[in-house]
Amino acid sequence: MVAVADASSARIRSEIGRLHRMSNRDLGTALLSLARGARTEGGKSMAHPEGLGRASSFVWHVVPQVALRLGAGPLLPAEADAYSLARLDPRQFRRTVGGLLERSRLHEVNRVHAPAAGTPFAIDLLNNRISQGNPIAFGLDRICAPLLADEDPVTRWMKAASRQRFGHDRFLRWSPGFEDAKGGELEFIC
């Protein structure tokens, strides 16, 4: 069982790295695909925006809003219908979506349909820890850069991971090298 878990973790890490290297538009398109994949994986409980409460709303409205701001489209009917998100300025959007990411409840979704063999679950990718590379979080980094003095949820998670790993809180955004860095090998944002 450990070998299966290790293989799954390796696939997730590989896919997170691939997503991180994408252009903004391609990342947005991938996020739309992941949101739609998560809805499929969740079956009937995720088939409509109100299905499983926060988790359904998150993959129907929040993730597509992030994708739109990254330049993706077109959307399906009922995607990104959260008017309140659409009218937020970039900083407010980052704070709000970061908070919704923290409370998305994606971990509670019962996976009914599996993706193709060798492909990570979309739900697992969307629910990956911020400090281990979450595509929604690094999408937010591209929409609105994190600030050292700001306490939005994504920045707070990265500052905590930076403090734990390096003894300071200056790493505000995740990159693939964050997992392997020792001390101050990575550039940080002030």
Of residues 113 and 21, more confidently modeled: 21
Of residues 180 and 3, more confidently modeled: 180
Mean pLDDT value across residues 161-179: 86
Report the percentage of the chain scoring pLDDT > 70.
Answer: 89
* Torsion angle, alpha carbons of 4, 112, 57, 32, to 10: 60
Distances in Å between the alpha carbon of 6 and those of 9, 11, 144?
Answer: 5, 9, 33
Q: Where residue 6 falls among pLDDT bands split at 50, 70, 90?
A: low
Q: Are 46 and 55 in contact (CB under 8 A)?
A: yes
pTM summary value: 0.88
pLDDT digits (tens, 9 = 90+) for 136-155: 999 999 999 998 887 899 99
